Amino acid sequence: MAKITASVYTSHVPAIGAALDLGKSSEPYWQPVFKGYEFSKQWMKDNKPDVVFLVYNDHATAFSLEMIPTFAIGTAAQFTPADEGWGPRPVPTVIGHPELAAHIAQSVIQDDFDLTIVNKMDVDHGLTVPLSLMCGQPEAWPCPVIPFAVNVVQYPVPSGRRCFNLGQAIRKAVESFDQDLKVHIWGTGGMSHQLQGPRAGLINREFDNAFLDRLIADPADLSAVPHIDYVREAGSEGIELVMWLIARGAMADVNGGPAPTVKHRFYHVPASNTAVGHLILENT
């Protein structure tokens, strides 16, 4: 039986990917960011999953305004890193897990979450930057990855509550898969940032750190926070944080199990326009 063993949460700032790709990670500006992930890279090696279920958002890359799926699951055998206008990132092709992805799609849709199934899709920095942060610069990613794209670009985006409930449906789906697989679920994006208008550059340390506290200790309560609070407190793009609630909803304690162990916590300002937050929670 497959099992979710851990959840990982991280920002996915594109400039972090660029810094790594251009060999700037030891520069004084970037050094503190990458230092915050040193533990995580070792932890990934020591706790190598069989599959990563990676929740992220597409940034006008695979999805233009032609189609705007709220929740899209990647069921393909592989996904190519996209050219976002600066040329594709020099990172490995992402290998999927079509069997588990199709199983999750079937189970979650039967649980009333109407996923869009995507058999062909390029993946942008939202997906590849978290992989780079957690795995460094390998020849190949350490395991298959199921991309799960959430619309957080065009409002209204899904509510925190809906995301948290979806995470619970994903846990149930994973646990009903017959192969013995260790699965990580990652929630990415955030933390506070705003990329538009005269209010661009907004950062809110207090909000972000309270979010991390509540995500660990009381995610159900946190999931009730309405969109407008994210916009006002964490910036218009800070709304990406709802995706962290999908990963958190898939942890065992939400289903009556023991509380997860906090293996790592990191927070840093800034990376380009954004506050970087990172957590690793393990099911015990």
Contact positions toward other proteins, by CB under 8 A? 14-15, 29, 59-61, 64-66, 83-86, 153-156, 192, 194-205, 207, 226-228, 231-233, 236-237, 269-270, 272-273, 275
| Cβ at position 241, least distance to other proteins in Å | 15
11, 238 in Cβ contact below 8 A?
Answer: no
| Cβ at position 274, least distance to other proteins in Å | 9
Distance CA 25, CA 8 (A): 21
Compare residues 155 and 258 and give the one whose CB is closer to other proteins. 155
Longest distance between any two alpha carbons in the chain, whole Å: 52
187 CB contacts (<8 Å, ≥6 apart)?
A: 7, 8, 9, 55, 243, 244, 245, 246, 247, 248
Point out the catalytic residue in the list 59, 103, 125, 184.
Answer: 125
Distance CA 101, CA 53 (A): 9
Told to judge if 103 belongs to the known catalytic residues of this protein, a careful annotator would answer no
Compare residues 26 and 196 and give the one whose CB is closer to other proteins. 196
Told to judge if 264 belongs to the known catalytic residues of this protein, a careful annotator would answer no
Distance CA 252, CA 3 (A): 10
Query: How many of the other CB atoms lie within 10 Å of CB of 88?
Result: 13
Compare residues 185 and 202 and give the one whose CB is closer to other proteins. 202
Q: Which residue type does 224 have?
A: A
Point out the catalytic residue in the list 12, 103, 193, 278.
Answer: 193
Compare residues 117 and 231 and give the one whose CB is closer to other proteins. 231
Query: How many of the other CB atoms lie within 10 Å of CB of 197?
Result: 8
- Which are the catalytic amino acids? 125, 193
